Amino acid sequence: MHAAGDVRVEDRPEPTIVEPTDAVIRLAATCICGSDLWPYRGVVPVHGQAMGHEYVGIVEEVGADVRTLSVGDFVVGSFMLSDNTCEICASGFQARCAHPQAGGIGGMQAQRARVPLADGTLVATPGPPDPDLVPALLAASDVLGTGWFAAVAAQAGPGRTVAVVGDGAVGLMSVLAARELGAERIIAMSRHPERQALARHYGATDVVEERGDAGVARVKELTNGLGAHGVVEAVGTQEAFLQAIGMTRPGGHLGYVGVAHEVQIPGIRLFHAEIHMLGGPAPVRRFLPDLIRLIWDRKIDPGKVFDLTLPLEQAADGYRAMHERRATKVLLTV
Ligand SMILES: [Zn+2]
């Protein structure tokens, strides 16, 4: 991305093993993230950035210290690098690994890529996947893992009502996760007919079209005036964040995974809300082994979240389609 709105597909240097803990993979598929739209729309500055952080592919080379992966393995990677051995990783927060690598993950909208900390970042599938499983495995790399983290943070579970703010890919994946985790009632906030239908497919029991204060009022109406036990914030705007806080009942849990650009929470609102809050970049690596298993066994079908597929060469068209909300999520074939 050369500048806001300016995406070009260009040749770059071939990736190589730099550190002994690296792997080089050949991408099987990649995609465009809702968070890639922040620079695309000029909300965060961008100058010649190699884009992409969601990926699945085949290991082509491994460094001398890589232990868990072999050449030829099909792998799913987290969008954040982690060694998966430090104290922070061991406690389940791999996205904030105590040993961050310069540059992090980037440039995955590509044919090949270098992955540092390969053992702690990549997880191999049981074998080569059937082609129809590739989109689902790709979803696990970010949107499914992020939605799952949000649903866990919102403590989705039996007997609980979970409300999801945001009908983008992560919001829809949070609905799927809440259902898998056993939530009794799942309220999806959406005004978009196709996304409402997909939310219901993934397990939403109620759809609320109202936003802001009206959305809060509607969710309270549906929950005996109390608010939801758990709320997922998967947008990252001021209105969505305050709405999510307002919809969470006292003592309830808010999981926030929308990248919170320009969000300011009045301290007094937070004080009186009296809720548990956990969010941030999702530790996808924590969930990957379980998510791969659920996909492999065809228990979940997160791949439906991709509603447009384009060849990598047409990435610019994909960005435009997501920017104009003509597509929820674009898969790029390599
Ligand atoms: Zn770590």
End-to-end CA distance of the chain: 18
Q: Residue 73, CB half-sphere, CA atoms under 13 Å: how many?
A: 21
pLDDT at 36: 93
Average pLDDT in the 115-121 region?
97
Query: Ligand 1 centroid to 100 CA: how many Å?
Result: 8
**pLDDT level of residue 105 (50, 70, 90 thresholds):** confident
Q: What is the pTM of this model?
A: 0.95
Residues 257, 202 within the same domain: yes
Q: How far is the CA of 273 from the centre of ligand 1 (A)?
A: 33
CA of 54 to the centre of ligand 1 (A): 20
User: What average pLDDT does this structure show over 100-119?
Assistant: 92
Distance CA 164, CA 39 (A): 25
Rg (C-alpha) for the chain, rounded Å, is: 19
Domain assignment present for 227: yes
Specify whether 237 is located in the same domain as 293.
no
Q: Are 26 and 128 in contact (CB under 8 A)?
A: no
Question: Does any domain span residue 12?
Answer: no
- Say if residue 80 is in the same domain as residue 115: yes
| CA of residue 95 to ligand 1 center, whole Å | 8
Place of tokens 């808010």: 254
Give the model's confidence band at 211: pLDDT under 50 very low, under 70 low, under 90 confident, else very high.
very high
* Cα 282 to ligand 1 centre (Å): 14
Look at residue 332 and tell me whether its pLDDT is greater than 80: yes
Confidence of residue 144 (pLDDT cuts 50, 70, 90): very high
Q: How confident is the model at residue 262 (pLDDT cuts 50, 70, 90)?
A: confident
**One domain, residues 181 and 205:** yes
pLDDT at 175 over 90: yes
Ligand 1 mean position, distance from CA 253 (Å): 26
**SS3 state of residue 273:** helix
Cβ atoms 156, 231 nearer than 8 A: no
Q: Clarify whether residues 273 and 250 are in a common domain.
A: yes
Q: Which of 239, 259, 279 is the last residue of a domain?
A: 279
Please give the helix or strand (H or E) that residue 88 lies within, else none.
Answer: helix 87-90
Q: Please report whether residue 149 resides in a domain.
A: no
String of b and e for 63-77 (b: at least 16 CB within 10 Å)? Answer: beebeebeeebbbbb
Which candidate, 11, 189, 231, places its Cα nearest to that of 107? 11
Task: Give the CATH number for residue 266.
Answer: 3.40.50.720
Residues 53 and 118 grouped into a single domain: yes
pLDDT in the model for residue 101: 83
**Are residues 273 and 174 located together in one domain of the fold?**
yes
- Tell me if 16 is assigned to some domain: no
pLDDT at 107 over 80: yes
- The predicted-structure confidence for 313-331, as pLDDT tens digits, reads as follows 999 999 999 999 999 999 9
Q: Domain total for the chain?
A: 2
**C-alpha to C-alpha distances, 230 to 60, 124, 239, 249, nearest whole angstrom:** 42, 32, 18, 8
Write down which residue in 257, 279, 301 finishes a domain.
279
Q: What sign for the dihedral angle of Cα 187, 190, 193, 199?
A: negative
150 Cα to the center of ligand 1, angstroms: 20
- pLDDT higher than 80, residue 203: yes
Handedness of CA 291, 297, 299, 302 (dihedral sign): positive
C-alpha span between 299 and 190 (Å, rounded):
25
Phi, psi of 186 (to 5 degrees): -130, 120
SS (H, E, C) 282-299: CCHHHHHHHHHHHHHCCC
What is the rounded average pLDDT for all residues in the chain? 96
**Per-residue pLDDT tens over the stretch 8-62:** 999 999 999 999 999 999 999 999 998 899 899 998 899 999 999 999 999 999 9
CA of 255 to the centre of ligand 1 (A): 22
Nearest alpha carbon to residue 245 among 204, 276, 214, 222: 276
Whether 8 is in a domain gets the answer no
Specify the CATH number for the domain of residue 296.
Answer: 3.90.180.10
Q: How far is the CA of 3 from the centre of ligand 1 (A)?
A: 33
Containing structural domain, residue 54: 23-142+283-333
Same domain? 237 vs 136: no
Question: What distance in Å separates the CA atoms of residue 180 and residue 285, rounded to the nearest whole number?
Answer: 18
- Polymer length in residues for the chain: 334
Same domain, 86 and 160: no
Tell how far the Cα of 82 is from the centroid of ligand 1, in angstroms. 5
How many angstroms does the Cα of residue 117 sit away from the middle of ligand 1?
Answer: 10
pLDDT given for residue 200 in this prediction: 98
Residues 268 and 296 in one domain: no
Is the pLDDT confidence value at 100 over 90?
A: no
32: in domain: yes
Looking at the fold, whether 297 and 266 belong to one and the same domain comes out as: no
Ligand 1 centroid from CA 187, angstroms: 35
pLDDT digits (tens, 9 = 90+) for 263-304: 999 999 999 999 999 999 999 999 999 999 999 999 999 999
Together in a domain, 34 and 127: yes
Domain boundary among 279, 297, 313: 279
